[in-house]
Structures are given as structure tokens and as C-alpha cells.
A and B are shown apart, each in its own frame.
Chain A
Amino acid sequence: MTSTSVALLLAWGMVVGLDLISIPQIMIARPLVAGTVAGALAGDPLAGALVGVLLELFALEILPVGAARYPDYGPAAVAGAATAAGVPTILGLGLAGLVGLVMAFTGEWSILVLRRRNTADVRRNAGRLDVGDPAAVRGVHARCIARDALRALLLTAVGLVLAALVHRWAFLSVRTSVLLLAVLVGVALSTGAAGALRLAHGQRRASLWFLAGLAVGIVLVVWR
């Protein structure tokens, strides 16, 4: 991978990390988007798209509601795409998925740290916020966003280092790579199904529509 690719991946990771919570929440943080674009930046769009699809299934578990804890799959998909780039799918996708999951887990922890720092900032400035000081409102808000940008950048950098290490040192046998891929695909598909079942929980009509969709999907697979 060239230094330009690495710089672009870092920038992209920061942008998608910011998108998850801070700006602009247009869902480029979703792995389907983050992974596909990262794959293109890393020179292997197909690998990036497959990593994106795999991690998107995991992300379907999440409802990023308020104070809920949730993994950060955006920079994770960037790291995954960088891991998978240039490696045959059957050998690289499982390992890329694992790198993605590790980084998503790290991202979840980084969001907790960010929230604590933001809270400390707000408490330090509580007096000024309580009297409606415009500079305090603007300053706190801007610092929190800058903090999130730094978090996303560092997270992506760690992810890319991990991807490089895995590229260089993780010599898994073909059998182990395939086994890893099969296991992750199984868990990912079950997560997508569990996400849909949870959405439809207690709603008979939605459950029926999910089953109807499943039937249409199976027909399409057989037909194709």
C-alpha cells in the first residue's frame, strides 16, 4: 500500500469515526459504506465491499440509542478493508473480519473515554453554561467535536497498524483461514437475523413481512 493510500485511509477513518456520533450522522460510518470506500482507497474495492457486508451484519445488532454502549464499526471497517486488500477472499476475509471486530471493540471503549472527557469539560464550564455565555457553549461544543476527531484518527491509526502487522506476520494455514471465515460468516448472518427478529418482536405484521422477505430472498438465490 502506498503512503498516499495510507494517508487517505487515515483521513477516511477519521471522517467515518466522526460521523457515528458527532458530524454529520449521514451514516457513512456504517461498515457497508466505510468498508466499500476504504477498499477502493486501498486498491481493492471488492475486498472492501465484502468486509463492509460482513461487518454490516454485525452492526445490525445495534440501535445507537442515547447513552447505550455501542461499537464503532466505521474505523473498524477501514482497518478490515486494509487487511483484506490484495489477499484472496477465502484467505483474507476471515482475518479482516477479525481485525474489524477487534477494532470495533476498541472503538466502543474509546467512545466511553470520549464521553467521560466531554463530561469533565462540561462540568468545568458548568457555571458559564448556566448563565448562557455564548463563548462557553461554542467552546465546549467545538472542543468535544475536536476530541472525537482525534479519537477517530487515533483509532484508525491503530487499526491500520494492526492491519499491517496481520499482513506481515499472521501466517494462518489455509484450513484455519477458511474455518475463521466460516465461523464469522455464521455469526454475522445470525446477527442480521437476530436484528430483524428483534425489530419485529411483538409485532405480528412485521414478523410476517420478515418471513415473506426471507422467502423472496431464498427464491432469488435459487433463481439466480
Chain B
Amino acid sequence: MKRGMLSAALRLFTVQGSWNYDRMIGVGLGETVAPLLRDLPGGRDGERYREALARASGYFNAHPYLAGVAAGALARAEHDDVPGERIERLRLALVGPLGSVGDRLVWAGTLPAAAGIGLALAATAPVGVGAAVFLALHNAVHVVLRWWGLGSGWRHGMGVARALAAPGLVVALRVVTPIAGFSLGVALPLVARSLTQGFDHSLLLGTAAVGLVALVLQLRLAPTLGALRIGLLAAGVAILGGLLWR
């Protein structure tokens, strides 16, 4: 294993910690990649190290779980003496694919899939089981993805695009959204039942009516008026209605 790999892997968990509008996660990427650059010729005080760190700390954005792919590839390119302009181009070229693949795989895939399973269990199993299973499922994928990304980036260097065409990743992208849809589908009726325990028929009908109106509003008005704002407005109306209904 490359020296500094474990330290870089741990720092990956903080990669988004310095998110800002100018460089996005660039500073975090610089901090992550630093342990992999320390053995460049000249060491920590050398010119090569500083140049490489400056390049890594420029503008960069990607899904945080896949940022390791870039960290590994950039570090490898620096060790392979690739010219600085080409490394810059690689860094910028990775922004789109790593963001897109990560968003589809995690935010629109494994996260809602695990949340659906967690919600279904929270509604049916003893307290805490749903949360624990959610965490276990999500992080089984998350940690593997971070470690795989860093290792793949280091192995492939400038040819890191090959890592994103890995058969496992392609299959995962194909199946993960249907799995998420299925798990959320199973969870919704179970959660509905759990949250409406003690409701009489008229209250159930009222809840369903509110739900339908809110669903139409969300599908038509999002992201202008998201669920949070609709929820706050509806709660205000409910409290006003309750106070006036004497």
C-alpha cells in the first residue's frame, strides 16, 4: 500500500469540511491529498510538494464519497511527473463525472434505498432497529466506495476514467434506483399506519386529503416551494384552524 494512503483515506471523511463558493471542496481535496504528496522529490519543504498541493487546492467539486478517485489520481499523476497543465485538466475533467455518478449512485440510490428499509423497520420493529439497519446498510456502501475510489485513483492515475467504467459500478447504477423506489414504496404504507395510530376515520380522511394536496403542490411547485415550507405553512393553518374552531 502507498505510504500515506491510510491517512488520506481518513482525511477523505472531512473532504467537504471547508466547502466554499470559490473553490468548493478544493481546499478539502488539498488537505486529503497532502499525505500522498509528501514523498515527492524534495519532501515536505520541496518545490514539487508545494506546486502539487497548490494544484490540488484549487477549484474542485465532486460527490464527496467519490472525491477519493480524484485524490488518488492526482497524487499518482504528480508522482508520475505528468506536466502540471495536464494534471490541471484532469482535475477539472473529473468534476462532472464524479459528481454525476456519485449523485446517481448515492443521493438518488443507496441513500433513499437504505432510508426506505430503515423507515419500514422503524415502523414495524422495536425502537432503534430501523435507525441501526439504515446506518449499517448505508455505510457498508459508503466506506467501501471511499476506499475503492482512493485506491482506483492511485492505480489508474491519468487513466482514471477507466475506474468509472468498472463493471460493478455500471451494474450498481442500473439497479440502485429501482431498489430505492421499491424500498420507499414498501415503507410508505407501513409508516403511514405507524404515524396515524389512534386516528379515527374522519381524521384519516383529512390526513389523506392534506397529503394529496401537498403531493400535487410538491410535484408542481418544487423546488420553489419545497416540503419544508409547505409543512410550515400547513402547520400554521392547522394551528389557526384549531384556535378558531371552538
A residues with a Cβ closer than 8 A to B are: 21-28, 30, 32-33, 36-37, 39-40, 45-46, 49-50, 52-54, 56-61, 63-67, 71, 89-90, 93-94, 97-98, 101-102, 104-105, 108, 115-116, 118-119, 121-123, 126, 129-134, 137-138, 140-141, 144-145, 148, 172-173, 175-180, 182-200, 203, 205-218, 220-221, 224
Residues of B within 8 A of A185 (CB): 192, 195-196, 207, 211
The residue from B18, B206, B234 contacting A141, defined by CB atoms under 8 A apart: B18
- Count B-side interface residues using an 8 Å CB cutoff: 105
**Assembly CA distance A218 to B241 (angstroms):** 32
Chain B interface mostly helix, strand, loop or mixed? helix
The residue from B124, B181, B213, B232 contacting A224, defined by CB atoms under 8 A apart: B124
Known: A49-B130, A52-B131, A187-B231. A213 touches B183 (CB 8 A): yes
Known: A183-B234, A199-B108, A199-B180. A191 touches B227 (CB 8 A): yes
B22, A196: Cβ atoms under 8 Å?
Answer: no
The residue from A27, A59, A141, A180 contacting B139, defined by CB atoms under 8 A apart: A27
Known: A53-B191, A60-B115, A196-B112. A65 touches B185 (CB 8 A): no
Residues of B within 8 A of A60 (CB): 112, 115, 184
**Assembly CA distance A89 to B185 (angstroms):** 25
Of the stretches B49-57, B149-157, B159-167, the one at the interface is B49-57
**Assembly CA distance A210 to B44 (angstroms):** 53
Known: A61-B226, A205-B178. A115 touches B234 (CB 8 A): no
The residue from A27, A144, A182, A216 contacting B203, defined by CB atoms under 8 A apart: A182
B228, A89: Cβ atoms under 8 Å?
Answer: no
Known: A50-B195, A58-B228, A210-B182. A21 touches B17 (CB 8 A): yes
A131, B50: Cβ atoms under 8 Å?
Answer: yes
Residues of B within 8 A of A89 (CB): 197-198
B16, A25: Cβ atoms under 8 Å?
Answer: yes
Closest 6 CB pairs of A and B: A213-B185, A176-B242, A186-B210, A132-B54, A132-B50, A210-B181
Give min CB distance, A19 to chain B, whole Å. Answer: 10
A192, B130: Cβ atoms under 8 Å?
Answer: no
B219, A197: Cβ atoms under 8 Å?
Answer: yes
**Assembly CA distance A178 to B196 (angstroms):** 10
**Assembly CA distance A27 to B195 (angstroms):** 23
B57, A183: Cβ atoms under 8 Å?
Answer: no
B209, A65: Cβ atoms under 8 Å?
Answer: no
Known: A189-B191, A191-B214. A182 touches B186 (CB 8 A): no
Q: A71-B228, A216-B182, A221-B190 are in contact. List 14 more A-B contacts (CB 8 A).
A: A30-B134, A49-B130, A97-B235, A98-B235, A105-B228, A115-B21, A145-B14, A183-B235, A186-B234, A190-B210, A190-B211, A195-B184, A199-B184, A216-B186
Q: Mark B49-72, 1 if CB is under 8 A from A, else 0.
A: 111111101100100110000000
